[in-house]
Amino acid sequence: MSLKASITTKGAVLLGKHVACDSYDEFRPVRIVTHAHYDHCGGLHHSLRKCQTVIMTPPTRDLLAVMKGSSFLDTNNVKALNYNEVLEHVDERVTLHHAEHILGAAQVLIEDEKGARIVYTGDFRMSSTPILESDILVLEATYGNPFQVRPFQKVVEHALVSLVESALKDETVYVFGYHGKLQEVMQILTANHLNVPFITPEKIFQMSKVCEKYGMRLGNVLSSSEDEAKEIVDRNEPHISFHHMNARRHVGRDAFRICVSGWEFSGPRRQIGEKEHIIALSDHADFNGLLRYVKESKPKLVITDNYRVGDAEVLAREIQKRFAIPARALPQ
């Protein structure tokens, strides 16, 4: 059974006999992209040229079209698969299931001809992620250390909203984060009636439009290239400026800044500069959430993802110790 799932040194999560997830593998005819974050899109250009089928959810397809250009996915082998829709490939059944992470994120279930259930969680957060029963479970391990828990998770949104409201009385607020999480911040602020314009670079604007297409309510989002946005900035009217985390070094250096990051475990909010704070908003399960998934999934074997950032080896040891379930971190 252990041969039915593995993770290669290039980050491909191999499931069953035919499927590779989240990186290219030259021996697998089916490639699945679980979501649109860069560390799950390895070798995608090779997959589009060489794989028989490249599978992703419709929102992931649309987000990737923004990130990589509208023609990038213009190939005949891309299959947009809805959640719970079954795709049969030779002697295996492939289904994607919802994962609470960024828009379009998916878990993968492979069922083989003998009825074995092989599950890859991809990246997920526990709040509304369904737990799939499995025989073999391939588990993300981003927060796989027992010290990485957030007992304060329910108050993070309140901390974010109150901090933004307070700062907006005096100046523009700059928010830094990754794709998907930025739109989650917009949705939180909008739901809490923070009715000020959100001004973003063009790519974040287009990503936000995709999120709105699939039902997210993000408020008044403007591209920084629009005349209306330029006038708001010129007149110094209240607004929030959203930027990718990579722009943090050179954008809004003297402004009031908020960075949203899951790598915070001491509390919902931490001040790191005179006018800079970190908000502990995470789109990954913490250590306790990972253990809960394993317990309720009831696998006979667990493989923890040791390719991407995380604590896969620690998590595998803890799973074996706490549940007496064989677990290993791959690749070694």
Q: What is the predicted pLDDT for the residue at 250?
A: 93
Tell me what the pLDDT averaged over the chain comes to: 96
DSSP annotation string for 172-207: -EEEEE-TTHHHHHHHHHHHTT--S-EEE-HHHHHH
- Backbone angle region of 231, left / alpha / beta, with phi > 0 → left and psi within -120 to 50 → alpha: alpha
For the segment 83-123, what is each residue's pLDDT rounded down to a tens digit? 999 999 999 999 999 999 999 999 999 999 999 999 999 99
- Would you list the domain boundaries of the chain? 2-148+284-330, 153-279
The correct answer on CATH 1.10.3470 for the domain covering 153-279 is no
**Is the pLDDT at 1 greater than 90, yes or no?**
no
pLDDT digits (tens, 9 = 90+) for 208-240: 999 999 999 999 999 999 999 999 999 999 999
Q: How many CB atoms lie within 10 A of CB 244?
A: 17
pTM, two decimal places? 0.96
What pLDDT score does 3 carry? Answer: 73
Q: Can you tell me whether residue 279 is helix, strand or coil?
A: strand
pLDDT above 70 covers a percentage of the chain that reads: 99
Q: What is the CATH number of domain 2-148+284-330?
A: 3.60.15.10
User: What is the rounded average pLDDT of the residues 302-325?
Assistant: 98
Confidence of residue 33 (pLDDT cuts 50, 70, 90): very high
Q: Tell me what the mean pLDDT of segment 322-331 comes to.
A: 98
Average pLDDT over residues 257-277: 96
Q: How far apart are CA 30 and CA 253, in angstroms?
A: 45
Q: Collapse the DSSP code of 66 into the 3-class scheme (helix H, G, I; strand E, B; otherwise coil) and give the result.
A: helix
